[in-house]
Structures are given as C-alpha cells and as structure tokens.
Chains A and B, each alone.
Chain A
Amino acid sequence: MYLGWFPLIFLLIVFAASMPFVLMALAQVVQIKSPTVLKYTAYESGMTPFGDARIQFDVKFYLYALLFILFDIETVFLFPWAMAFGKLGLFGLVEMFLFIGILLLGLVYAWRKGALRWQ
C-alpha cells in the first residue's frame, strides 16, 4: 500500500478540525465567570447585530464560482505533471505551458468580455 504523505495530511486535517473545539473547551475550563449585562453587549461600542445572517447573495458571484471550478480542475492536472516532471523534461514543460496557455485564453476572453468587471 502506497501512503506517502497522506497519513500526515490526515493528521493535519484532524488537528485543524479539532482545534476550534479544543480552544473553546479550554476557554470554558480556564475562564473566570462573572457576567454582567454590560459584558454581554457588543464589544467596544460595536453595532448591535440585527436581522438574519443568511441573506440571499447576488447571482453575479456565480460566474466567479464557475471560473474557479475550471481553474480548480486545471490545478488537478498539475499534480501528475509535477510528480513526473523529472522524467518528462522540456517536453513536459512545453506541454504544460500549452495546457495552461489554452486555459488562459479563457481568462483573456472573460477579461475582454468584461465578465470580470463588477457591474
């Protein structure tokens, strides 16, 4: 079985995911509780929160999400290329630049069409 760095990555994910809970639990244990009404108000004359946190977002964000996905998929192709780079040499480099270049054409198109401009 080939594991490589994956056990460490797994440990990192578990560590990062449990950290907020650990810190909050630690704060619960260590803290000295003496609450007053004033202490529960917004910190340093901040705004009192109102309404719901879940608001409807502007649909314009969706284009950015779509563009992100496409470049996300491009990133996936970078992994096998990087792993095999030592063997591929110049040919691999040229091929990958061609691949990224074709995808950058899409970005140029988006730019020219004004899709990246906030309207």
Chain B
Amino acid sequence: MTEAIIFWAFTAISVTAALGVVFNRSIIYSALLLILVFLSIAGIFVLNNADFLAIAQTIVYAVGMTIIVLFGIMFTGDRAMLDEPLTSVRKLVSLVLATFTFVLLIKTVQFPFSIQPASQSVIQTLMQSGSTKMLGELLFSQFVVPFELASVLLLVAMVGAIVLAKKTFADAGEMSSQQLSYSIDSGEPTKEANSALHAAASRGEVHLEEVTRS
C-alpha cells in the first residue's frame, strides 16, 4: 500500500515536471525541471529494486546530462527562444517528431523481448542486498572484459572530444585573427586588437615585424 502511494507520488512528480519541461518557454527552467524528472524516475527505479540504475540515473542523467544541456544553453543564450514566435511550420515539425518518438516508445515497450525470469535465489539476494553488489560481483567475474573495454570506449570518447574541441577552437582562433587584420587594415588598431595580436605573436602564429611593416 505505501509502495503504491510512493510510486504514484513519484509518477505524479515526474509527469508534472515533464509537462513543465515541454511547456515552459524559458529553456533554462526547462533544463532545471529536467533534473526533477530524472530524480523522480530514479525514485521509481529504487521502488523496483533497481538501486544501481537509480544511482546511475542520478549521477549520469540528473547531474551529467543536465550540465551538458545547461552548458549548451549558456553558449547559445536562451533569449533567442523567448523571442522566436511559434510558427505553424515549427508546430508541425515538432508534432511529427513527437508522434514518431511516442510511437517508437510504445512499440519498444510492446516488443516481445525474450526475457528469462530471474531465478529464485537471485530475487532473494536482490531483496536483501540490492542490485549494486550483485552487479559488482558479475562485473568483475563474468563481464570483466566488457568492463575493461568500456574504459577503452570512454578513453576513445575523451580523445575524440579533445581532438574535435581543439580543432574547433583553432578554427575560431583563425577567424578572429582574420578579423584582426581587417580591423588593422581599415584604420586605427583598437586596444583589444593590439593585445590579441601580441598574444597571437607570443604563440608564434603571427610575426609582429610583418604586421608592423604592412
């Protein structure tokens, strides 16, 4: 009985917060409400004996993903969305996408996966000590190779992110130095342009002698 009450409370919170995410016009508030959605779903996981999943949900989604989303918003600025009108084309596109995702979700739930019911001893341990310990024992015995491979996967992701980011920043730097030379050609070099130029020279990208000659 109490379990049902807690379940429905978490469900009500998550659905209300999810509606808030969708209907809030300020994208920052949407992102913050998303944390509440993830946390209440983590609560539902706990109720279903999936304590490790609840921890992963909190750490990866409620903290990690939300930070990525918030950073993305902060880089682009959220003013743009508040000022943009909801045109009928945009409404149509979002309707099609939302319907597609919804149908996909329903089909996934209905898909006849061949899931074997857990043995009685597994259920017993699950009830007593939760899934985290059992997962740890499995992870370091039967699935130790996939576990180590996961670290390699993470390493690849990290190196990839660094390479992409470095490349993007290098392009951005090039663009600013182009703008810099333009501003010098067109007249008086500004104070900012000057200091940026000296910074570029100290990195060895620009030779100051050439610039002063031209």
Contacts and interface: CB of A to CB of B under 8 A. Distances in A.
The B interface is mostly helix, strand or loop, or mixed, namely helix
Given A56-B74, A72-B60, A98 B148 contact: yes
Interface residues on A, range: 35 or more
B132 A113 contact: no
Contact of B148 (A58, A83, A92, A95): A95
B158 A1 contact: no
A93 B71 CA distance: 35
Interface residues of B, number: 60
Interface string B106-149: 00000000000000000000111111111111011000100110
Interface in A44-60: 52, 54-60
A110 B51 contact: no
Contacts, number: 156
Nearest to A57: B74
A84 interface: yes
B51 A2 contact: yes
A113 B128 contact: no
Interface string A1-27: 111101000100100000000000000
The A interface is mostly helix, strand or loop, or mixed, namely helix
B114 to A, nearest CB: 25
Closest 7 CB pairs of A and B: A84-B136, A80-B136, A106-B158, A83-B133, A57-B74, A102-B151, A2-B130
Interface of A: 1-4, 6, 10, 13, 52, 54-63, 65-70, 72-77, 79-85, 87-88, 91-92, 95, 98-100, 102-103, 105-107, 109-110, 113, 115, 119
Interface of B: 3, 28, 39, 43, 46-47, 49, 51-52, 54-56, 59-60, 63-65, 67-68, 71-72, 74-79, 126-137, 139-140, 144, 147-148, 150-152, 154-155, 157-159, 161-162, 165-166, 168-169, 172-173
16 contacts: A2-B49, A2-B128, A57-B75, A59-B172, A63-B165, A65-B67, A66-B161, A69-B64, A69-B67, A72-B59, A73-B64, A82-B136, A84-B139, A103-B155, A109-B162, A113-B166
